[in-house]
Amino acid sequence: MTPERRFTDDEAAAIFDQAARDEQRVRSESPRAEGMTLAQLQDIGREAGIPAHLVAAAAKSLDQPALGAPRRFLGLPIGVGRTIELDRKLTDPEWEHLVGELREIFEARGAVRYDGAFRQWTNGNLQVLLEPTATGHRVRMRTTNGGARPLMTAGLALFGMAVVPALIGAFAGGLDASMIRSGAMLFVTGAGTFAVGALRLPGWARVRQQQMDTIAERLLLVTRMSPIEPSALPSAAPSALPPRAPASLPAATEE
């Protein structure tokens, strides 16, 4: 019986080096699909203890429309929104549960309205609209901070009232102490008014976007399951909610 051949360290290194080059060449020459299928991802998830429907819901979220740019005024966000495409229709119990979550997350009772196949929950400028589509439902959420723009505009107007007369007086050579004092008071008042409207906007927009993202995640999770009763729907546990709006902007009146 012929003894099995043994390879030296140098020969083994050369063999593996050649095999690696051959494998790389085969990869480059053989077209193949990149990535993994949903079924493959679900198999990996099951091995990690993640239910298949949660993996499917997470994959579905990648197909959602990109977040639109927030509405801005002088570079500051005065409006935010989010649109979610659902691959099935919400049942009546699921819509009622959604209204309950909206009231809890936004800390506002709001008003519910039905218009044929269209439904909506509104609280001032805060609107959540449910629209039928060919394959399911579309949920549009949007809001505008209605108090910020008037304050910022008023602040700019006071700036103008302070600066323009001062410039005219300076060029005419008639700028006196009383005019300077009046202009300074208008300038300070304008700055304060503008700041009240502007400084709260970034935090307000961030919180509102977080709240809308939370609602979107829950809706996508629910609609990946079969229609179920309200008692089986995921609850809006306080610990899972995004941060509340700043105390200076009560959720029921800020809009």
pLDDT tens series, the chain, 255 aa: 567 777 788 888 888 888 888 777 766 665 555 677 878 887 887 888 887 767 776 666 555 555 556 788 888 899 999 998 888 899 899 999 999 999 999 999 999 999 988 999 999 999 999 999 988 899 999 999 988 888 888 888 887 777 776 666 666 666 666 666 777 788 888 888 888 889 889 999 999 999 999 999 888 888 777 665 545 444 444 433 344 444 334 444 455
Q: CA-to-CA distance for 43 and 181, rounded, in angstroms? A: 75
Question: What is the b/e burial string over 102-117, where b = at least 16 CB atoms within 10 angstroms of the residue's CB?
Answer: bbebbebebeeeeeee
Query: What are the angstrom distances between the C-alpha of 93 and each of 18, 96, 119, 233, 241?
Result: 64, 5, 13, 9, 21
Give just the sign of the alpha carbon dihedral 39, 40, 46, 49.
Answer: negative
Q: CA-to-CA distance for 110 and 126, rounded, in angstroms? A: 9
Q: CA-to-CA distance for 255 and 247, rounded, in angstroms? A: 14
Torsion of CA 140, 145, 146, 150, to 10 degrees: -150
Give just the sign of the alpha carbon dihedral 253, 110, 65, 207.
Answer: positive
pTM (predicted TM-score): 0.60
Q: Which long-range contacts does 5-14 make (Cβ < 8 Å, 24+ apart)?
A: none
Residue pair 72/152 in contact (Cβ under 8 Å)? The answer is: no
Cβ-based neighbours of 108, under 8 Å, separated by 6 or more: 123, 126, 251, 252
Q: CA-to-CA distance for 171 and 98, rounded, in angstroms? A: 63
Structural tokens at position 169: 């007086």
